[in-house]
C-alpha cells in the first residue's frame, strides 16, 4: 500500500498504539505468537469440555482458529450463546474495532474498550446528553462484579447485547443481509471515505465460518472450511508453524497463491481492510508463520511500516544491493517513507535472481519472477531494501541498514 492511500486510515490504530504503549504491545505480541505457534483453539483443552459446547452458531473455520486468540474465541462463542447472536459476526466486529487487542481507555471520539462502545456523553460516539450505549446496556460477564468497559469479556458481552437489542442483529441463523445491516448500524454507516466497514466485517465473518442465508463462499476455501468438533480442541489447523522460520514463512505464502479480491476489483480480501493490500498480505503471512507482529494487519497497511517495525524490533534490514533470504520481505519504492509495494522472497538463485510471492499483484497473490533485483518484473518502482523478521521471543534491538 502506498503512503498516500495509507493516510486515509482512521486514527484508531494510532490511538491504540499510543494508549497501549510498550507493555500493551508486548502483551498482544505474546498472545499473537501463542496463537500462531500453537495454531489451534484450546477452548476445549483448557476446560475439558467440547469446544462447541456453547456455540450456537457455526463451527469455527481453520482461519478463525488461526487468527483469533483461543481465550478471545471462547468469549465470542459464550457471548453468542448467551445473547443468541452469531459468534462469527461478533468476532469479526471485535477484530474490526480493535484487532482482538485491549484498546483500554477512551479514544478521542468518546468510544472505549475492546469493542469501541459509546462511553462519553456528548461525544461524537454518543451525541447529546442522554445515556450512552454503555450506560444503557453494560453487562458483567463476572457474577458479583460491576461491568468494566476495559474488560474484554464485559465488552464482548455488552456489544452482543447492543447488537441484538439496539442495532437490529438477528438471532443466530439470521441472513447475511440482516447481519450486514447490523454492522452498518454498529458503525453508524455502512462505509465512509476511510473504511468499507460492513463489507469488511461480513467478508471476515464468512471466513470465520458464517453460513447465514445469502452468504458468499469464503474467499480462501481451505482456510474457510469448518474444523470438525473435537479436532479443533488440541490439534493444529491447516497452517501450524512451529516458529517464524524462513521455510514456514514461504510455506504460508505459497499456500495463498491464486487468492484474490472478492468481489474482483474491490480491494476486499481475507487479509485485512478493503484497501490496497500488498502489505496486509505480507503482514498476514508473517503473523501466520509466528512473527510477533502485535495487533491487526490493519496496523501495517502501509508497506513501509513493516520495514520500520522489523528494524526496531530485533529484525534485520538490508539494502537493495544485499542478498536476501527466503521469507524476507522485499520492498519497492525509494525508501520506507515512500514505499510503494512489498512482497515475500520465495527463492534465491545462485546467479542472484529471486522469485517473490506478492499480494495485490494484478489483483491476486502471485509468484513473480525469477528476476534480478536490479530489474524487478512488472513493478512501478525499484527495490529499496529487504527486512528479515525477528524470531519469536527475540528481544527488541535496532536493525542494520
- Residue closest to 360 by CA, chosen among 284, 253, 275: 275
Q: Is 211 in the same domain as 253? A: no
The model carries a pTM of 0.56
Q: Give pLDDT tens digits for 341-400.
A: 999 999 999 899 999 999 999 889 999 999 999 988 777 789 999 999 887 554 443 333
Q: Which domain holds residue 368?
A: 246-388
Q: Is 157 in the same domain as 180? A: yes
In a domain, 24, yes or no: no
State the total domains in the chain: 2
Measured between alpha carbons, how far is 35 from 241 in angstroms, rounded to an integer?
A: 10
Residue 338 has pLDDT above 70, yes or no: yes
In a domain, 204, yes or no: yes
Strand partners, 286: none
In a domain, 280, yes or no: yes
Residues 6+ apart with CB under 8 A from 351: none
* Cβ contact 237:35 at 8 Å: no
Q: What is the pLDDT of residue 56?
A: 67
Q: Is 215 in the same domain as 293? A: no
Q: Is 221 in the same domain as 370? A: no
Q: Which of 122-126, 283-287, 293-297 has the lowest mean pLDDT?
A: 293-297
Q: Is 45 in the same domain as 194? A: yes
Decide the pairing of beta strands 111-112 and 117-118. antiparallel
CATH code (residue 205): 1.10.530
Q: Is 111 in the same domain as 170? A: yes
Measured between alpha carbons, how far is 311 from 245 in angstroms, rounded to an integer?
A: 17
* Cβ contact 287:32 at 8 Å: yes
Q: Residue 55 — pLDDT band, cuts 50, 70, 90?
A: low
Q: Is 261 in the same domain as 292? A: yes
Domain final residue, candidates 177, 196, 231: 231
- Residue closest to 160 by CA, chosen among 88, 111, 255: 88
Q: Give pLDDT tens digits for 25-38.
A: 333 333 333 333 33
* Cβ contact 177:214 at 8 Å: yes
In a domain, 241, yes or no: no
CATH code (residue 373): 3.90.1720.10
In a domain, 345, yes or no: yes
Measured between alpha carbons, how far is 347 from 352 in angstroms, rounded to an integer?
A: 10
Q: Is the dihedral of CA 148, 187, 215, 279 positive or negative?
A: negative
Q: Is 204 in the same domain as 84? A: yes
Measured between alpha carbons, how far is 80 from 58 in angstroms, rounded to an integer?
A: 11
Q: Is 259 in the same domain as 164? A: no
Domain final residue, candidates 176, 197, 231: 231
Q: What is the pLDDT of residue 26?
A: 34
* Cβ contact 327:335 at 8 Å: no
Q: Is 205 in the same domain as 280? A: no
Q: Is 377 in the same domain as 251? A: yes
Highest mean pLDDT of the ranges 74-83, 217-226, 292-301, 379-388: 74-83
pLDDT, mean of residues 302-326: 91
Measured between alpha carbons, how far is 22 from 27 in angstroms, rounded to an integer?
A: 9
Domain final residue, candidates 231, 260, 294: 231
The answer to whether the peptide bond before residue 263 is cis (omega within 30 degrees of 0) is yes
Q: Give pLDDT tens digits for 117-152.
A: 999 999 999 999 999 999 999 999 999 999 999 999
Q: What is the pLDDT of residue 392?
A: 56
* Cβ contact 307:385 at 8 Å: yes
Q: Quickly tell me which residue has 468510544 as its cell.
A: 111
Q: Which three-class secondary structure state does DSSP give residue 251?
A: helix
In a domain, 110, yes or no: yes
* Cβ contact 80:56 at 8 Å: yes
- Give the DSSP per-residue string, 311-365: HHTT-EEEETTS---TT-EEEEESSGGGEEEEEEEEEE-TTS-EEEEEEEETTEE
pLDDT, mean of residues 155-163: 98
Q: Is 132 in the same domain as 46? A: yes
Q: Write down how long the chain is.
A: 401
- Give the DSSP per-residue string, 39-95: -S--HHHHHSS-TTTT--SPPPBHHHHHHS-HHHHHHHHHHHHHHT--HHHHHHHHH
In a domain, 394, yes or no: no
Helices marked H in 166-269: 176-187, 197-208, 221-224, 231-234, 246-255
Measured between alpha carbons, how far is 200 from 399 in angstroms, rounded to an integer?
A: 34
Amino acid at each position: 500500500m502506498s503512503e498516500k492511500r495509507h493516510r486515509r486510515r482512521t486514527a484508531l490504530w494510532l490511538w491504540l498504539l499510543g494508549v497501549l504503549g510498550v507493555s500493551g504491545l508486548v502483551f498482544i505480541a505474546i498472545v499473537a505468537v501463542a496463537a500462531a505457534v500453537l495454531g489451534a483453539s484450546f477452548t476445549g483443552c483448557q476446560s475439558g469440555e467440547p469446544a462447541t459446547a456453547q456455540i450456537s452458531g457455526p463451527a469455527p473455520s481453520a482461519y478463525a482458529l488461526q487468527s483469533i486468540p483461543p481465550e478471545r474465541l471462547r468469549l465470542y462463542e459464550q457471548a453468542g450463546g448467551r445473547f443468541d447472536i452469531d459468534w462469527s459476526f461478533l468476532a469479526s466486529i471485535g477484530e474490526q474495532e480493535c484487532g482482538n487487542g485491549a484498546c483500554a481507555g477512551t479514544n478521542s471520539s468518546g468510544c472505549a474498550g475492546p469493542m469501541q462502545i459509546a462511553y462519553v456523553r456528548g461525544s461524537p460516539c454518543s451525541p447529546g446528553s442522554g445515556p450512552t450505549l454503555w450506560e444503557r446496556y453494560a453487562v458483567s460477564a463476572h457474577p458479583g462484579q460491576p461491568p468494566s468497559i476495559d474488560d474484554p469479556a464485559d465488552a464482548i458481552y455488552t456489544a452482543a447485547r447492543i447488537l441484538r437489542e439496539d442495532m437490529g442483529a438477528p438471532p443466530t441463523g439470521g441472513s447475511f443481509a440482516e447481519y450486514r445491516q447490523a454492522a452498518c448500524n454498529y458503525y453508524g454507516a455502512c462505509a465512509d471515505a476511510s473504511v468499507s466497514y460492513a463489507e469488511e466485517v461480513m467478508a471476515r465473518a464468512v471466513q470465520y465460518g458464517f453460513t447465514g442465508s445469502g452468504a458468499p463462499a469464503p474467499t480462501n476455501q481451505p482456510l474457510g472450511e469448518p474444523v470438525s468438533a473435537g479436532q479443533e480442541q488440541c490439534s493444529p489447523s491447516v497452517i501450524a508453524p512451529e516458529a517464524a522460520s524462513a521455510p514456514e514463512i514461504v510455506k504460508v505464502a505459497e499456500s495463498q497463491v491464486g487468492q484474490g479480491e472478492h468481489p474482483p476489483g474491490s480491494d476486499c480480501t481475507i487479509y485485512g481492510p478493503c484497501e490496497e493490500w500488498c502489505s496486509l498480505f505480507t503482514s498476514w503471512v508473517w503473523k501466520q508463520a509466528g512473527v510477533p507482529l502485535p495487533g491487526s494487519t490493519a496496523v501495517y497497511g502501509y508497506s513501509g511500516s513493516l520495514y520500520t517495525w522489523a528494524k526496531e524490533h530485533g529484525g534485520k534490514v538490508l539494502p537493495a544491493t544485499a542478498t536476501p533470504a527466503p521469507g524476507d520481505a522485499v520492498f519497492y519504492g525509494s525508501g520506507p517513507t515512500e514505499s510503494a509495494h512489498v512482497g515475500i522472497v520465495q527463492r534465491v538463485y545462485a546467479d542472484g535472481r529471486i522469485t517473490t510471492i506478492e499480494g495485490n499483484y494484478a489483483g491476486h497473490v502471485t509468484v513473480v519472477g525469477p528476476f534480478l533485483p536490479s530489474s524487478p518484473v512488472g513493478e512501478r518502482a525499484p527495490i529499496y531494501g529487504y527486512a528479515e523478521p525477528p524470531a519469536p521471543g527475540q528481544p527488541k534491538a535496532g536493525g542494520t541498514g
